[in-house]
Structure 1
Amino acid sequence: MDAMAANPSFPSHRRPSHLDVYLRVLSALMLRDMRSRFGGNYWGYLVQVLWPCAHLGILVGVMTFRGLKPPMGDDPMVFIATGALPALAFQYISREVMKGFLIHKPLTYFPQVKRFDTVVARILVEIASSFMGVMLIFVVLFCFGADPIPSDMIMAISGYLAAIALGVGVGTVNVGICSVFPGWAIGYILVTITLYLTSGVYFLACYMPSEIYYYMKWNPITQIIEWVRLGYDPTLPIEVDYLYVFGWVFCSLTIGLLMERYVVRAQQ
């Protein structure tokens, strides 16, 4: 302190580093992203987090109304949650990353904001939203007397993390595609709906005929859902090809980053 007082030329404030500026840009993009959902305030972001609960309630209501028994365990809420949560985590992240890139494109006219910054900010927001949604689902299940705690915690958590990682990888690929073909943002909705309906959210894929099950296993979402469900019932006749799932994650992320480098930046 004495040295600073004796030498007026000593800088009283440290100049922000590149990392400081980058973190400030990311935090500003994340806050703007949260406020831009459903009405332009933070309550709209709460709707985004609450949507998985509404989704689970609708599906369980349909099963109860039709008198369907869950093919795994005794609680239909837990069965639906083990399939819907990883599938929705992948679907939301892979889709919202692309939407965030398109929505926040005008911000890239500021020299501090790069297009990839909008992608990273949306990824971080969606990952946080996914975990908040899971915790909220667990609270709801506890309130209704269900037991959402898996018998193999590591197995269930690692499967859910794989769904998030695959969503990030496919999301970056979608960014590269929609930077050239913006209409892909609409076409991908049809892709995610098809994947969601055929991935085994409402049924156990392993109980399908072997000819159908063989082709379903090529869908990485099916394998991720089975991965999570193994954490709840290790006795299920399931064999997850972990190398295949990891291959999807790393290949999609690699392709997405290469497209960002050679396709997205070329559009700037």
Structure 2
Amino acid sequence: MSDTAAPLARRSAAESYLRVLHALMLRDMRTRFGGSHLGYAVVVLWPVVHTFMLVGIYVFRKVPAPIGDSRALFFATGAVPCLIFQYVSREVMKAVMMNRPLTYYPQVKVFDVVLARIIVEIVTGFLGLLVVCAILVAFGIDPRPADAIIAVGGYCAAILLGIGIGTINVGIISFFPAWIMGYQLFSIAMYILSGVMFLPQYLPPEIYHVLKYNPATQIIEWVRLGYYPNLGAQVDYYYVILFALFSLTIGLLLERFVVRQRT
């Protein structure tokens, strides 16, 4: 009897956890941006609008692309991975602040809230990327990368880095809530300096060497290598992945030993 009871108990616990996670994801998707059912569509389109505002400004000003024939494609390949990273890292942090009352229920833990937001942001980023590609196609621009494996790997690295930095942010705001504003300012500086609007390798070698320590810079170069094989950039793939995994490890340790102690 006990041999069959244990697997059933584990399955029941897993099903209960999945139901909690599913409920958190649905609540997240339905309550953001005013609680309307169209709110999630706004969440998806928000970074898309951000991307094409940037693209539109540079196309309108007729700023030439440093590489390739399409201004829109060049700026999109820089903005999209950077925004994916920044949105994931920021929204994971905001999830805990917005859903903290839910953690008063014994079935809901802070980690559950973080995991639910991570899954939602991954889906959101993927849908946003599809919308960007669809808009580029509508304007007669081919969004297909020359090397799809490299480009997709860069997008996945952006998501992983966003998750890692986001979990660290969760730990920081547990004892310093003002960090949510500080990270906004930090994100703006990173956005400007990461190479979204320029090619970092054209800078003096000393400056370029310093910028390479910024994993977001290397992620943008990673994605662009998938579109421009002759880009000439050297991406340290191990550094980017290890940086993201190390950040995630630190974030999980903070969640275990700091966040849980304060909730």
| Bucket of the pairwise TM-score, normalised by the shorter protein | over 0.9
Superposed displacement of residue 222, structure 1 = 0.3
Superposed displacement of residue 166, structure 1 = 0.3
Helix, strand or coil: the match of 1:222? helix
**26, 34, 43: which one aligns with 2:38:** 43
> Which residues in structure 2 correspond to 1:252-267 (within 5 Å)?
252-267=247-262
**201, 209, 216: which one aligns with 2:211:** 216
* Structure 1 counterpart of 2:112, one-letter code: D
Cα deviation digits, residues 38-88 of structure 1 (max 9, x gap)? 111221111111123212221122112222111121111111111011100
Cα deviation digits, residues 212-243 of structure 1 (max 9, x gap)? 11111111000000000000111111100112
**143, 156, 173: which one aligns with 2:151:** 156
Maintained 8 Å contact 2:55/2:76: no
Paired with 2:242 and 2:182, the residues of 1 have a C-alpha distance of: 24
* Structure 2 counterpart of 1:253, one-letter code: L
Maintained 8 Å contact 1:151/1:233: yes
1:131 matches 2:126: yes
**182, 190, 193: which one aligns with 1:195:** 190
Structure 1: 5+ residue stretches without partners: 1-13
Structure 2-normalised TM-score? 0.94
- After TM superposition, the structure 1 stretch with the greater mean CA deviation from structure 2, 62-71 or 93-102, is 62-71
Counterpart of 1:8? none
Maintained 8 Å contact 1:169/1:250: yes
Maintained 8 Å contact 1:34/1:41: no
Q: Which has the larger radius of gyration?
A: 1
Paired with 2:103 and 2:51, the residues of 1 have a C-alpha distance of: 37
Structure 2: 5+ residue stretches without partners: 1-7
> Which residues in structure 2 correspond to 1:22-171 (within 5 Å)?
22-171=17-166
Over 4 Å off, 4+ runs: none
Paired with 1:263 and 1:83, the residues of 2 have a C-alpha distance of: 35
Superposed displacement of residue 183, structure 1 = 1.0
Paired with 2:155 and 2:52, the residues of 1 have a C-alpha distance of: 20
Helix, strand or coil: the match of 1:42? coil
Paired with 1:232 and 1:114, the residues of 2 have a C-alpha distance of: 41
Structure 1-normalised TM-score? 0.92
Cα deviation digits, residues 85-125 of structure 1 (max 9, x gap)? 11000000000000001100000111111111100001000
Paired with 1:59 and 1:178, the residues of 2 have a C-alpha distance of: 30
